[in-house]
Amino acid sequence: MKNQVKTIVEIDEGAEPEEFWQSLLAGNKCVATSYDLKKRARLFQCSERTSVFKATEVEGFTQDDLPERGAAILDGYDEVFVWFGKQATPTEKEMTLQTAE
């Protein structure tokens, strides 16, 4: 197996380039209405609020499931996206990136 190049690009919410939406949602800016993405993607909310890091899958997710406290991983199979809420702790950020890898 070849080593895959890992590229991390940080994008602030509201400042996403059009290419982001094209690759993520085929141009649809609402996760909740993108049937194709929901059909094949999996969302995991990540938190260490209980002193133990957990990644919990969210069934039937919408954009509202992206937490302000904590982080999330959207596994789109071809690409993986990581979300950091405004109140995500440094540990949550580190552990979420490790889990996404």
Res. 73 pLDDT band, cuts 50 70 90? very high
Rounded to an integer, what distance in angstroms lies between the CA atom of residue 75 and that of residue 61? 12
pLDDT tens digits for 25-45?
Answer: 544 445 544 445 555 788 999
Report the greatest alpha carbon distance in the chain. 38
Structure pTM? 0.66
Q: Does position 82 have pLDDT exceeding 60, yes or no?
A: yes
More confident site: 60 or 72 = 72
pLDDT tens digits for 51-62?
Answer: 889 999 998 888
Give Cα separations from 29 to 5, 21, 33 (angstroms): 27, 6, 9
